[in-house]
Amino acid sequence: MSALLAHDLTRTLGDRRVLDGVSLTAAPGHRIGVIGENGTGKSTLLRLLAGVDQPDSGSVTRPADLGFLHQEMPFDPTATVADVLDDALREARETIAELDRLAAAIAGSPDLMAVYAERLEHAQDREVWDADRRAGIVLAGLGLAEVPRDRVLGTLSGGQRGRLALAALLVRRPSALLLDEPTNHLDDEAMSFVEGQLRAQPGVVLVASHDRAFLDAVCTDLIDLDPSPTGPTRFGGSYTAYVAQKRADREQWRRRYQEEQEQLAELRHAAGHTAHQVAPNRLKRDNEKMGYGHAGGRVQNQVARRVRNATRRLEVLERSQVPAPPRPLEFRSSLTAVASEDVVLRDIHVPGRLTVAALDVRAGDRVLVTGANGSGKSTLLAVLAGALTPSGEVRRRPDLTTGLLAQDTTFSRPDRTARETYEHALGVERAETVPLHSLGLLGERDLDTEVGRLSAGQRRRLALALLVADPPQLLLLDEPTNHLSPTLCDELEEALNTSTGTVLTASHDRHLRSRWTGREIRLVAGEVAWGAEPTP
């Protein structure tokens, strides 16, 4: 098995430089996670490494046997499940057939023994005789065992097609695996199965993912494409260790920025104040008039040199200064009375979606809402937000401010830019106090893009920015870590931990769920069951 090498890759899409001089070495046995905000080039990098796209400059050396998991399945919709599996098993079956031919031919041509030994070693490394059994294990592990083999791909759900494409690669076992968001459409059991399969891969694994628990369980190295003063960052170690290092780097970035701003202020003051001392029309003080002549002129020349030196240093520092780091996310809503309930639900019913006999959401509560897809999590949050009117009784505390981050985000004026939408929703004064660009949720180039032209993930991050800038007393978040980079997910978790208001979060995010310190509601078939109280 050979390494995957990339040198000085650049790629421009439209008028935007997506990748600029990215290099990497991925040796067999290394499992590298590629992380970063949407738009930083994760998928573009994988496409260049796979040879699906070509760089504007730079080079890639890749193993001949490479498998790439696309966001879209590379099979015709009229193909069947059996066709996909046959393609995945084709190399193993051809290798076995070749070994049978070589074994039969060796008696008449002893010189074929070396060729046979080489092909036998390759077959043993790939475990080709175990391929059909492995296919059954992989299909079962990904929840596809009950799907008929003659089922046409066009009749499968998007999630089933994604899992089948992943299954085909795991069955094939190429010497290098490139996976773009492989955990999409996987439940917890399937996720654990895939993690075990990838840890057992002897070759190169390169995976772009937002799933922090997955990155922690699988990766030996990480490449962060998020902007930093030194460009893309490679880290050897687990995601948890990287988070600790990232936090230290962020603090160092903040300190460097603060020190540079202080130096800039001092230089501007020195240059301006000293320049005033040597201004040509400045009136001389009485103690300067006596014998000014030669000595005074020499002093003036020295001061002028100091002005020039300070000005040059100022110009150099202004050109090289680091940008301001994004401010950490935080939710600082107005405090609520601890003894009161924010929302009380009694005998709530939304036909086919939700049934709640009784639910009291106390002021200051921190509640995690869990349950399978379709169990009613989004419906419950919509009822609590007042966005959906059920049958039954809903009582809210007077003057309660409520904010809902829904999974599907729309804005009434798609012709407004992100910046205009932000200012219109918050008011100019508040928008200036917490500038949109300072939150790190949208890139600079997206601030003046019409919201109707933003991606679904960008619109959702804009909606999150509105909640961060003006936090409500009752904060309702539906899958809040979707469309966020791992770094932003960590910041969001920390912000929720320190929120002064009431928080209800519905999430499948394993990392968020494992670190939750509040109460838990589990929805089963649209009915509510409270979990245990949190341990103090």
Residue 524's φ and ψ, nearest 5 degrees, are -125, 115
Contact 481, 454 (CB under 8 A): no
pLDDT tops 90 at residue 77? no
- Mean pLDDT check: name the lowest of 224-228, 487-491, 499-503, 520-524: 224-228
Task: State pTM to two decimals.
Answer: 0.75
147 compared with 228, residue with greater pLDDT: 147
AA identity, residue 262: E
pLDDT tens per residue, range 89-122: 888 888 888 888 888 888 777 777 888 888 888 7
52 compared with 305, residue with greater pLDDT: 52
Q: Please give the Cα distance from 228 to 523 (Å, whole number).
A: 41
pLDDT tops 50 at residue 286? yes
Contact 345, 359 (CB under 8 A): yes
124: exposed, middle or buried (Cβ count in 10 Å: 0-12, 13-18, 19+):
exposed
pLDDT tops 80 at residue 320? no
pLDDT tops 80 at residue 272? no
What token pair was written down for 347?
């005998």
Non-local (6+) Cβ contacts of 442 within 8 A are 418, 436, 458, 461, 462, 465
Q: Are strands 402-405 and 474-478 parallel, antiparallel or unpaired?
A: parallel
AA identity, residue 2: S
**Average confidence (pLDDT) over 273-300:** 54
pLDDT tops 50 at residue 490? yes
pLDDT tens per residue, range 28-63: 999 999 998 777 889 999 999 999 999 999 999 999
Q: Please give the Cα distance from 440 to 93 (Å, whole number).
A: 51
Give the length of the chain: 536
User: What pLDDT is stored for residue 384 in this prediction?
Assistant: 94
